[in-house]
């Protein structure tokens, strides 16, 4: 027979009291955290749903931060583009004014000096930084100053003045994710924004008998174009036209050389794949430059300049009193640059509107997910308070009953 200890009633009472106390503590913790699931055992199915909802909400919050960052970036870009637009409008006013033959050479020279100052300010805007210290118009080379200003001596100006402006940035390769598998291009490269005319690059070398020796690739405006062994110049032109590069390729009728023309105003970049020399053999480049911009061949014909080229041409024409150039080529180039600048500004505004729409949609989705998550793990405080009160009442009653059934004796104090 098992021996019945006199401590068994006391041990049993202590066990059940501790269990009640743990239940009370559990309800109190749920009320404090306002969640009904603290462990998987509380509701395995609800917990699995809650984990998925929480993970999805985290992704949505990350996308929300992306949209806010993109919108701030586009706002800064739009602000500087607006300032650039104002300067180009002033350049146009000087071009219209300087084209009038009533002005003397001294008068137009004074205009040229003012245009030179506007040119400097335009270069400052093109090299602007965002709040994070990165350059806004250098493409995905955000830590590289986009435009290099080369200064020299200019007749009629008593100090060093810009004689050439070179783009050292890259293309628009950075993208930001607004939602799952939905991206927006972040960059506005200076080689696109601050350009005036559609650029044309033409080789003077006869390429009618050229063939690619082995499979390789070339990069046209950072778009990789794969070539196969045996491809001739017509096949190369067709592959360029079928690619995503904003370039129209064709064979020059006079020279039988490969010619490229931009479908919109921007700096054309050409680069051979490492170890390849297709573009060099076609007479378009002399190799890949360290900055990634093409190193044109000695006989390559290049036309279509940047906004800075147009401004420099306007300044120099005003300084020498060339009314015909000012009213013709200079004014036409400024109009082209102004149209391109407004188009790029519209693109930035459209992207900003898109991220604004995405931000509103994400806010709604986050609210819906929070509702679903609260439905799974949310705690009804009224029910929890009633349950806590009932458990506390039961615990007090158990303590009172135990005190009557198991009163302490002298032996309890002597142990």
Residue 185 sits in a domain whose CATH number is: 1.20.1330.10
> What is the distance between the alpha carbons of residues 257 and 233, in angstroms, rounded to a whole number?
8
Tell whether 139 is covered by a domain. yes
Tell whether 99 is covered by a domain. yes
Looking at the structure, tell me whether residues 323 and 189 fall in a common domain.
yes
Looking at the structure, tell me whether residues 152 and 173 fall in a common domain.
yes
Q: Please, how many CA atoms are within 13 Å of residue 8, restricted to the half-sphere of its CB?
A: 5
Find where tokens 């929070």 sit.
370
**Tally of residues, the chain:** 415
The pLDDT value recorded for residue 141 is 84
- Read off the pLDDT of residues 53-85 as tens digits, 9 standing for 90 and up: 888 899 999 999 999 999 999 999 999 999 999
Looking at the structure, tell me whether residues 180 and 224 fall in a common domain.
no
Strand-pair partners of 176:
184
Give the CATH number of the domain where residue 262 resides.
3.30.70
Higher pLDDT, 113 or 53: 113
Q: Is 142 helix (H, G, I), strand (E, B) or coil?
A: coil
Higher pLDDT, 12 or 157: 157
pTM confidence score = 0.77
Residues of the domain holding 113: 54-195+308-365
> What is the distance between the alpha carbons of residues 297 and 207, in angstroms, rounded to a whole number?
14
Q: Is 49 left (phi over 0), alpha (psi -120 to 50) or beta?
A: alpha
Q: At what angle do helices 105-126 and 44-98 cross, to 10 degrees?
A: 170
> What is the distance between the alpha carbons of residues 218 and 202, in angstroms, rounded to a whole number?
16
- Read off the pLDDT of residues 322-341 as tens digits, 9 standing for 90 and up: 999 999 999 999 999 999 99
Strand-pair partners of 303:
200
- Read off the pLDDT of residues 263-317 as tens digits, 9 standing for 90 and up: 999 999 899 988 889 999 999 998 776 655 568 888 899 988 899 999 999 999 9
| Mean pLDDT along residues 87-99 | 94
Q: Which pLDDT band, with edges at 50, 70 and 90, does 246 fall under? A: very high
pLDDT of 95 over the 70 cut: yes
Max Cα distance, the chain (Å)? 131
Closest listed residue to residue 225, CA positions, set 236, 233, 214 = 236
Looking at the structure, tell me whether residues 188 and 221 fall in a common domain.
no
Mean pLDDT for the chain?
Answer: 86
Looking at the structure, tell me whether residues 172 and 259 fall in a common domain.
no
Burial group, residue 136, by CB count within 10 angstroms (0-12, 13-18, 19+): buried
Looking at the structure, tell me whether residues 59 and 208 fall in a common domain.
no
pLDDT of 225 over the 70 cut: yes
The pLDDT value recorded for residue 288 is 73
Domain count, the chain: 3
Looking at the structure, tell me whether residues 77 and 101 fall in a common domain.
yes
Tell whether 330 is covered by a domain. yes
């Amino acid at each position: 027979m098992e021996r019945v200890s006199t401590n068994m009633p006391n041990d049993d009472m202590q066990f059940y009291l501790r269990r009640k106390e743990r239940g009370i503590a559990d309800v109190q913790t749920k009320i404090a955290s306002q969640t009904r699931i603290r462990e998987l055992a509380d509701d395995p199915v609800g917990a699995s749903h809650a984990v998925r909802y929480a993970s999805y909400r985290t992704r949505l919050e990350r996308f929300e931060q992306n949209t806010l960052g993109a919108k701030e970036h586009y706002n800064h870009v739009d602000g500087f583009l607006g300032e650039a637009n104002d300067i180009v409008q002033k350049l146009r006013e000087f071009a219209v004014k300087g084209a009038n033959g009533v002005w003397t050479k001294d008068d137009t020279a004074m205009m040229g000096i003012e245009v030179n100052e506007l040119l400097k300010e335009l270069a400052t805007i093109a090299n602007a930084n965002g709040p994070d210290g990165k350059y806004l118009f250098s493409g995905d080379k955000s830590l590289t100053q986009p435009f290099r200003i080369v200064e020299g001596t200019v007749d009629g100006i008593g100090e060093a003045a810009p004689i050439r402006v070179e783009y050292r940035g890259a293309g628009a390769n950075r993208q930001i994710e607004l939602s799952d598998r939905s991206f927006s291009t972040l960059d506005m490269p200076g080689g696109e924004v601050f350009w005036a005319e559609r650029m044309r690059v033409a080789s003077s070398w006869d390429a009618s008998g050229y063939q690619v020796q082995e499979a390789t690739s070339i990069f046209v405006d950072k778009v990789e174009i794969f070539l196969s062994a045996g491809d001739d110049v017509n096949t190369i032109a067709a592959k360029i036209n079928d690619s995503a590069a904003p370039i129209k390729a064709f064979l020059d009728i006079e020279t039988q050389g490969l010619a490229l023309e931009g479908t919109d105003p921007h700096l054309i970049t050409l680069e051979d794949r490492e170890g390849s020399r297709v573009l060099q053999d076609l007479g378009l480049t002399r190799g890949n430059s360290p900055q990634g911009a093409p190193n044109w061949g000695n006989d390559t014909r290049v036309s279509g300049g940047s906004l800075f080229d147009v401004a420099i041409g306007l300044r120099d024409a005003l300084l020498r009193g060339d009314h015909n150039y000012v009213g013709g080529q200079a004014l036409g180039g400024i109009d082209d640059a102004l149209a391109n600048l407004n188009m790029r500004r519209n693109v930035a505004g459209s992207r900003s509107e898109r991220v604004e729409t995405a931000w509103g949609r994400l806010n709604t989705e986050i609210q819906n997910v929070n509702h679903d998550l609260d439905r799974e793990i949310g705690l009804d405080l009224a029910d929890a308070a009633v349950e806590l009160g009932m458990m506390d009442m039961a615990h007090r009653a158990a303590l009172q009953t135990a005190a009557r059934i198991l009163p302490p004796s002298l032996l309890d104090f002597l142990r």
